[in-house]
A and B are shown apart, each in its own frame.
Chain A
């Protein structure tokens, strides 16, 4: 695959004349209502013909920075790439770009180091490749052959493993339509429309092992944020960070992982109204710490101790925002008398089954199902008092014994951050993998939620919990439900049990408050909804979402008399976990035959990567869709099995002994195709196509569309009920006749929803119906499409740069779910009366109740409606006469922010409690339990002890690389910045072990060994824990054996154990040892 040389290099001078990097009018070919004038910056008419700028969105982290692709075109045809730079119009980055964004040119083309010529990046794959069982080489194949063969494998495997019916323990037989032998992982770097097709195709096949990168990164964010606020999303957005008084960056190295966030904090620092302070809490001194106002070290895996101490400090010193806490949280709610906490266990622990019976984790109700409250917060059974009692144990000294933080630094953090409990101050928390990747990941985030609710920092500009997503569309991939437990937009995927046996059971189970209501069909249920269901919240509309989804997927085959084809959905085995670790354990045990890997690289990124790599060898076939032949694509090569030391526990396999057939489908790069991506702040932006795909590579949308068509061809004519989910599936995405590419807008139309009668967009999810008259593939995206002046409009393409409030909301830039609300729970930005801003905080009021305004003149709702500078996150007509007027958290059944996570919200406790990581050097201090009791231990024999492995290991990322490095290590401009895998250790430990800076070291755990370059640094320090000195080392995990920058994958060290709620792997704290190589 030698690079093709370009005939001549365009000089920069020519290029300037030809458009300039920033000042050209964007001339996106648009039949989509793309507003040319709104692409502003269009000032200088420097353009000559042939230079075309095209806007796209960066494919790396979730910030959503815009980029402009400059290409040379002749007669409308792409000739070559000229440059890729930050998009000056995009409000997120305003023309800026981090090193990864700046190196985007390399994704397609590079400058040859020997000739200096511009050539296609030689690491790109121009043709589909096939590797036969036992072979040690790839063979080039054509697309038709590849897709036909893959379709055959899919059919074989599905048919030999398909379960149409299942007999439940009670004897009832229900339809399950599932196969457990096909699995699919990845997709978070794909566009929404691609994720949607992948989700739909896999589910039609009956796939239940359906996972995406979200599992490995932010699954605990949903696990912790949804029980606290109702949604699992980042509450605010990147630009909003400029509005904050204080940012606590904890479990994130934002300067490196989300560089543009630092731009907005820097702006806040310079704004005299905000004077933003930045706090960095991290086991090591990072590039974020280098520019922070305050740095406090903390041992990996002790976040709840750190935050529990903060909660205690707030309560002891009365620093909480009282008015906010009483009105907007469940602080006043009374909790059942049998709820208790003792010795590290909450009430209801079942020792035999290793899980909690959560029935005592509930509120007290009166006879009319109203929750009992004490707004004085004095009742000993109120949430506030129970919380106070729970965190009394977290005094500063105890906390520092556990976290190893210097007492004075910890106290400084407490003082600085908790000062924002004042009503005129807001503070935000920015976090990422340092928080989520723990056995207590979801509870870590719950601890954030408690802190922020107490300080009154949710739902306000400059406040919030900013879950910084690390993949450009991991938010969208999650929205499209590339996770086994959901259907699109966070409704439960059905389980093979009585609770989900038919559509009505499903609705009863998934609609809060519906469990005991008397209804037997949809008509009766609708009547109950009309009358109002108590303790239900906005999820009372679940029936509309599921029925509209089924209509989208099964069209005419989804009718009222067949439960809208509900039976076609695969039902997973009750109580069975299908998440990433469980999936690879099943694969390792030979339970899975075929695997789709959609832009994912588990040989580098999966926990216990040695095991996951071996698991791949047990597959019959694997399909890998990617730009590069990364480590997972080439798991069967000799190179893949090289290890730095002989270790009898780690298998060595040769290609001959690997019978897995491998199909590699070369994918187009982000700017070689079109579609949308949802940024970490839920802003869904369209990216246009700025260059042709390299060689024969294809957009993933094309690949899924063609593959699904091939599979459907194989099933065409089948009369078997097993095959109905495939044969009855709606699948019509082809472009206009003669076009090779599918029509991305057709997909958008379906996923955002349309009326069956006229095919026109549904104008918002409030208009969805459960009678089959609307379709909608993903209800939270409903409202992103509209019909204007006789044309279909996808609002994600909007590029208007107005920001009337000056708060950085940019309401007409792209579109944001839900319903273009830029800051969710924004009802909290005004006082309980709905009108008055918080004292001294007039300019951060987002919404208010306007008693004189009519919400919808066509309806007889009367006077009064919510309005504001942001779209109100309230039902518009909920006025002061209604109880819900003071309920800002509309997705929670209680309507309040939850300090106490009631009922089934959490698997491991209504209050976060500190437990040690699975592998820890410390005996428990705060309670009598070591590890989170509710976590599933997959490999008990792999537990490392501190006698054998005395050093704490953690992993980290670099700004120069992205995720497993599959993209960035193949780009020379990034490879040169961080060319090799390395491990950071303290000067003290280096001295103890005679390790030299720049020398080679071996790091070992019970799972394996890696070799790395030592980076001996002052920035890493030993911790003093409960009086003893313990070392921690930090390993860059973004390397593998492929690409321009190489090194051993650090995840060969990490364990197969995860968060009790979501099984997000505990990558961030384990035990290891280090020695000179």
Chain B
């Protein structure tokens, strides 16, 4: 059983790799990508504010819940802090397990809880703002 949680500065560039056990038959990779339109308005990206260490602690607890309650074997979570341009990845969840059913269910549950409980906030950056100005 493997759980890994990381908050990273800026966009997530490298695809997370996981070592499956040989018993695993399914791996789901979910990536959240910054959209060009935020509430109908064009943006250059999103700036993410993270309350540490509470955010990391909660992500770790949610990941442990997937292992305990859904029976998956590996959970890798990465989330950006700071500015992420349009089209780039700000959140990545990788879950592996024996069968696709529990892996899909676990992934959906995790993202729902993340959006409900984890103290991370996005702030839209208007289209004509540079990355430096966005902070």
Interaction A to B: no
